[in-house]
Amino acid sequence: MLIVEIEKPENEPLSVWFASLRDWLDANRCPPSAFTACGRRIDRLIYRISFDTAALAHSFCQDFARYSPTIRRATQFERDQLRAMTLSAERVPDVADASLGSAG
């Protein structure tokens, strides 16, 4: 698993920036394992995106080079956190499914 850290540009609204990242992820059929805010570098927000394949992580970095992405392997601690997040997301029942089940 690879982690890409990417800077949000100061002059671009968060929703527009997220939309451009999401469009790339959708076009490349690449659901990221996680997408989280992870701090600041000088005055810019840094977001962390995890990728299951190295090819997609490298392609993402090339296509978004203007945002100064960095790429590295996830630490064991980060992999454990991602697994825990995935497991907890799988355990949460879908609200729509729960309401449909109680309607009968």
> What does the pLDDT look like over 1-55, one tens digit per residue?
888 999 988 888 989 998 999 999 999 988 766 777 777 777 778 888 888 889 9
102, containing H or E segment = helix 95-103
> What does the pLDDT look like over 55-94, one tens digit per residue?
999 999 999 999 889 999 988 888 788 777 767 766 655 5
pTM: 0.70
Residue 10 to residues 2, 25, 70, 86, 102: CA-CA distances in angstroms? 25, 22, 18, 31, 47
Among the CATH numbers 3.30.70.260, 3.40.50.620, 3.10.50.40, 3.40.190.170, which is that of 2-77? 3.30.70.260
Segments in 35-94 forming alpha helices (H)? 54-63, 76-91
